[in-house]
């Protein structure tokens, strides 16, 4: 199964389209139980996702492939290796497991800083000790790969990819990663739910891109696809992608996603102008 479960909603009130808030423990257990019956085997979490790891640990995730992420290395950290070890020990304890499938850096640009080689060596040590099967990075834009992959080898890269933001594919980086044997996980298929929202539900700060939304609605009407079908079909159809990470607030959402995951795209929408970085990077939305 190419779909993996993102778990930020299990620890935080997350997403521009999320009206339900953080998912309660019983719902998390139900989601995981049902996901397993559909051959979903991978969970994506992070130390920075609030109570996500602890919630998973209370949900018996021993049989899952779990990928977590280290937060940014604190300024002035003297013992980098000790800090990495302590962070991952905490993750394993909260998750109730003894091995991770992957450990990623949430701030991979720190690998280019003065502590970069020490940080990378600490990740390699986790892998050598069998604490994690894979090490890698979580990036915001493919430009980070230009700077990082020449310096260090990674087993796993996580990056944004959706029908609106196709830069990872169009830059050639998805293909290059696959040629290097790097596992590729992609997130933001729904752009935090923005791409699934009806025009009258979309926050007003996004109206500055009205011409793009008009083309989006026109294209959906022409193809007969729902927004959910279209948003899933694009990343699932990219052969270089190993996992498409989706977050859900309920079992009903998961069921709807699985039912919509078998569509194909007859073509891709022709956006009317270059995509504004402020739109495709949710970290900039608070500044709109």
Give the CATH number for residue 105. 3.20.20.100
pLDDT band at 207 (very low <50, low <70, confident <90, very high): very high
Give the integer Cα–Cα distance in Å for 135 and 264.
Answer: 32
Each residue's pLDDT tens digit, 108-145:
999 999 999 999 999 999 999 999 999 999 999 889 99
Give the integer Cα–Cα distance in Å for 273 and 277.
Answer: 12
Coil, helix or strand for 47?
coil
Q: What is the pLDDT of residue 22?
A: 85
Nearest residue to 105 via CA among 125, 90, 84, 89: 84
pLDDT band at 164 (very low <50, low <70, confident <90, very high): very high
pLDDT band at 178 (very low <50, low <70, confident <90, very high): very high
Give the integer Cα–Cα distance in Å for 183 and 157.
Answer: 6
pLDDT at 149 over 90: no
Give the integer Cα–Cα distance in Å for 80 and 73.
Answer: 8
pLDDT band at 70 (very low <50, low <70, confident <90, very high): very high
Q: What is the pLDDT of residue 14?
A: 52
What total number of domains does the chain contain?
A: 1
Give the integer Cα–Cα distance in Å for 214 and 229.
Answer: 18
Q: What is the pLDDT of residue 18?
A: 43
Could you list the residue range(s) of the whole structural domain that residue 260 is in?
3-287
pLDDT at 4 over 70: yes
Alpha helices in the chain (DSSP H): 25-37, 52-57, 80-95, 116-128, 143-148, 167-170, 173-179, 210-223, 227-236, 251-259, 277-280
Q: What is the pLDDT of residue 12?
A: 85
Give the integer Cα–Cα distance in Å for 66 and 46.
Answer: 10
pLDDT at 270 over 90: no
Give the integer Cα–Cα distance in Å for 36 and 274.
Answer: 40
pLDDT at 1 over 50: yes
What global pTM score does this model have?
0.95
pLDDT at 151 over 80: no
């Amino acid at each position: 199964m190419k779909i993996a479960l993102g778990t930020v909603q299990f620890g935080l009130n997350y997403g521009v389209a999320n009206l339900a808030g953080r998912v309660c423990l019983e719902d998390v257990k139900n989601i995981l139980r049902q996901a397993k019956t559909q051959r979903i085997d991978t969970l994506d979490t992070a130390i920075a996702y609030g109570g996500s790891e602890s919630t998973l640990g209370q949900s018996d995730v021993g049989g899952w492939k779990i990928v977590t992420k280290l937060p940014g290395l604190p300024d002035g950290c003297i013992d980098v290796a000790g800090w990495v070890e302590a962070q991952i020990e905490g993750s394993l304890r909260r998750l109730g497991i003894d091995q991770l499938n992957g450990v990623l850096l949430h701030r991979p640009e720190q690998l280019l800083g003065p502590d970069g080689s020490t940080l990378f060596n600490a990740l390699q040590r986790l892998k050598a000790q069998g604490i994690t099967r894979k090490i890698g990075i979580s990036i915001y834009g493919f430009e980070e790969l230009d700077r990082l992959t020449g310096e260090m080898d990674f087993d796993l890269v996580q990056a944004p990819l959706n029908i609106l933001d196709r830069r990872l594919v169009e830059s050639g980086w998805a293909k290059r990663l696959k040629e290097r044997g790097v596992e590729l996980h992609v997130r933001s298929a729904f752009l935090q739910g923005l791409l699934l929202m009806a025009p009258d539900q979309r926050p007003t700060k996004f109206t500055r891109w009205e011409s793009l939304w008009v083309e989006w609605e026109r294209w959906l009407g022409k193809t007969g696809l729902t927004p959910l079908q279209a948003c899933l079909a694009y990343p699932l159809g990219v052969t270089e992608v190993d996992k498409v990470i989706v977050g859900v607030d309920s079992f009903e959402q998961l069921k709807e996603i699985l039912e919509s995951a078998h569509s194909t795209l007859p073509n891709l929408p022709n956006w009317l102008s270059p995509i504004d970085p402020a739109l495709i990077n949710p970290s900039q939305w608070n500044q709109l």
